[in-house]
Amino acid sequence: MAKGERNAHAARAERLQNATGALSTAAITAMDEKLPWFGKLSAQDRSWIGLVAQSGITAFVDWFRDPEAHSSMPTRMFGSAPREFTRVISLHQTVDLVRTTIEMIENTIGDLLPPADVPVVREAMQRYAREVAFAAATVYAQAAEMRGAWDARLEALVVDSVIRGEADESVRSRASALGWTGTAVSGAGGSSEVAVVVGRAQPAESGTANVADAVRHAAREAGADALCAMQGDRLVVVLGGTSKPVEIVQKLERWFGPGPIVVGPVVPDLMAAVTSARAAVAGLRAAPAWPGAPRPVQADELLPERSLSGDGHARRQLATEVYGPLTMGDGVLLDTVAAYLDSGGSIEATARVMFIHPNTVRYRLKRVGDLTGYAPGNPRDAFTLRVALALGRLLNPEPGAHVL
């Protein structure tokens, strides 16, 4: 650029500098008149937005004076705004703000600058506006990334509190901040029941970095609420708003790694989710003892394996809910099922041992199934009954004693 041209450009920049006050005032007036949402903001928020607009006009003047020396000015213009700026107005509203400011400058500079300056300034403004648009997109992208990282940490904290049995009102509040309602997304029935699901995580090399997002989305598609966290090689999902978690998990199965997926029992709400979590974690630990287990499998279906692996809750549950009902009355049901199991599952052999008719054995075994939920004629149920009898005898050695 020749010396004369440089002098002319400097003079033009100086005239533009002198007009910044009028341009800033006109920008705020234009926002108030053309943007309905602007007038609904608080005085503090409007002040911050006005400061950003004024900063942008000043930055444009500096950039106009020497574009090469101030190449980063469009990006820096948002530096005067607080971090909450991206929460006050949306990206769409920011675009409206920039557009309104640019239109105002184009319509106003004719009254503030000599006619010869107007085409040059307008052309520069168009170039500058493009850079500002990219800068705004960058600011919102960075804010979304930071918010996503914070939400992921908060979600992991909530799930960890559930697993460790530390769920309280603060955990409920944090879950709510993540969008957790605990009720059916579809609104059907208004269920608020919760179940915890535990399985192996996908291998790191599988390329499924956004498993948590995918699980939440798939759960919502299935009509349930979800919180999700990776804990080492374990994927933990807290499902809410469904009384049939197994059906939901069947739609989430692809996001788990190889191996069993254990669904804890349904509990009333998030505050009681530790019960479901404890059963699910114990079930995952004991699942290898049942190679033929379905996927997903309910934790209560793994009661015998859990009790053998040292789960005291499973032992007490078998002794209380399976052995206990069989001891009621004169104890003939307990004697009958014990004789049946010891006879290799033969009704005739059981009848001979007990000196009763085979039909009596059949009737009593049906009563056992009705009382406990386990049919002695089913091999899997027979195994559960055998373990329950052994545990019941260990915990209650005295005949007719109260079941612990």
Determine which of 6-10, 49-53, 79-83, 210-214 has the lowest per-residue pLDDT on average. Answer: 79-83
Contact 361, 351 (CB under 8 A): yes
Helix (H) or strand (E) holding 362: helix 358-372
The model's confidence at residue 358, banded by pLDDT at 50, 70 and 90, is very high
Say what the pLDDT of residue 180 is. 79
The answer to whether the peptide bond before residue 36 is cis (omega within 30 degrees of 0) is no
216 or 387, greater pLDDT: 387
The model's confidence at residue 30, banded by pLDDT at 50, 70 and 90, is confident
Question: Which position has the token pair 């669904």?
Answer: 263
Residue 2: is its pLDDT beyond 80? no
Q: Sign (positive/negative) of CA torsion 91, 93, 96, 98?
A: negative
Say what the pLDDT of residue 206 is. 52
Q: What percent of the chain has pLDDT over 70?
A: 81
Residue 102: is its pLDDT beyond 90? no
Alpha-carbon gap, residue 277 to 264, rounded angstroms:
6
In the 8-state DSSP scheme, what is residue 66?
A: -
Q: How many other CB atoms sit within 10 Å of the CB of residue 209?
A: 10
Average pLDDT, the chain: 81
- pTM summary value: 0.64
Mean pLDDT of 255-283: 93
For residue 258, give both structure tokens.
């190889």
Q: What value, to the nearest 5°, has the Cα angle with vertex 396 and ends 400 and 344? A: 85
Q: How many other CB atoms sit within 10 Å of the CB of residue 263?
A: 28
Q: What percent of the chain has pLDDT over 90?
A: 37
Q: What confidence tens digit (pLDDT) does each residue in 126-151 have? A: 777 777 766 666 655 555 555 555 55
26 or 154, greater pLDDT: 26
The model's confidence at residue 325, banded by pLDDT at 50, 70 and 90, is very high
Architecture of the domain whose range is 312-395: Orthogonal Bundle (1.10)
Say what the pLDDT of residue 133 is. 67
Mean pLDDT of 23-51: 81
Say what the pLDDT of residue 110 is. 79
List the CATH code of the domain at 180-302.
3.30.70.2730
Say what the pLDDT of residue 329 is. 78
- Give me the residue spans of the domains in the chain: 3-146, 180-302, 312-395
Strands laid side by side in the 261-263 sheet: 225-231, 234-240, 194-200, 261-263, 297-298
Alpha-carbon gap, residue 133 to 141, rounded angstroms:
12
Q: Which amino acid is at 386?
A: R
Say what the pLDDT of residue 38 is. 80
Say what the pLDDT of residue 32 is. 83
Residue 259: is its pLDDT beyond 70? yes
CATH number (1.10.390, 1.20.1440, 3.30.160, 1.10.490) of 3-146 reads 1.10.490
294 or 231, greater pLDDT: 294
Q: What confidence tens digit (pLDDT) does each residue in 171-201 have? A: 777 777 777 776 654 444 445 789 999 999 8
Q: What confidence tens digit (pLDDT) does each residue in 75-91 have? A: 555 544 545 555 666 76
The model's confidence at residue 12, banded by pLDDT at 50, 70 and 90, is confident
Residue 64: is its pLDDT beyond 90? no
Alpha-carbon gap, residue 128 to 130, rounded angstroms:
5
Q: Sign (positive/negative) of CA torsion 172, 174, 177, 183?
A: negative
